[in-house]
Amino acid sequence: MGSTAPESMSGLPKEEADVELRLGDIPLRQTVELVRIDLPADRAEPLLERGVLPGCRICPVRSSPTGDPIISVDGSLLALRRETADCLCVRLLSDFS
């Protein structure tokens, strides 16, 4: 999926963009920026349509009883599977708030 890496990345300092963080590794309440979606287009589309786009801010607000992440994006609450969350490459924005 390297071809779909968004151009917005080019403005970032290199070493930051290189850190491969996955949404699944992010602690609760830590806002991150989505860098890349490692999913084939048809699987990514439902996410894209709901505003989970490269460059958007994602905050994992809770984990479900089964350990799957519930995230907040643009004021929407979305429940994902952790398998999906592990396909979302993110980068840190700020420290714990």
The two most distant CA atoms of the chain are separated, in Å, by: 38
* Residue 94 sits in the site that holds another protein (CB under 8 A): no
Least distance (Å) between residue 58 CB and another protein: 12
* Residue 90 sits in the site that holds another protein (CB under 8 A): no
* Residue 12 sits in the site that holds another protein (CB under 8 A): no
Indicate if the alpha-carbon torsion angle 91, 27, 61, 21 is positive or negative. positive
* Residue 53 sits in the site that holds another protein (CB under 8 A): yes
Number of Cβ atoms within 10 Å of the Cβ of 70: 15
Measured CA to CA, the distance from residue 74 to residue 52 in angstroms comes to 9
Binding site for another protein (CB under 8 A): 3-4, 6, 8, 37, 39, 41-56, 61-66, 68, 70, 72-81, 84
